[in-house]
Amino acid sequence: MTLVFDPFAPLFPRHAAAAFTAPADVLVGENDLLLTMDLPGLTADDLEIELLEGSLSVRGVRRRPDVGEDKSWVHAERPFGRFERRIKLPVGVDPDSIMARMDNGVLSLIVPKPEALKPKTISIGTGSEQRELETATA
Q: At residue 1, does pLDDT exceed 60?
A: no
Give the predicted TM-score (pTM) of the model: 0.69
Written as one letter, the residue type at 67 is V
* Domains of the chain from N-terminus onward: 9-117 (2.60.40.790)
pLDDT in tens, 31-88: 898 999 999 999 999 999 998 888 899 999 988 888 888 888 888 888 888 999 998 8
CA-CA distances (angstroms) from residue 58 to 11, 17, 26, 38, 113?
A: 35, 22, 14, 12, 19
**What torsion do the CA atoms of 89, 93, 99, 104 make, to the nearest 10 degrees?**
0
Best CA proximity match to 83, nearest among 124, 53, 42, 130: 42
pLDDT in tens, 96-118: 999 999 999 999 999 998 877 66
Neighbours of 68 (CB within 10 A): 7
Angle (CA) 23-24-25 rounded to 5° is 140
Distance in angstroms (rounded) separating the CA atoms of residues 43 and 33? 22
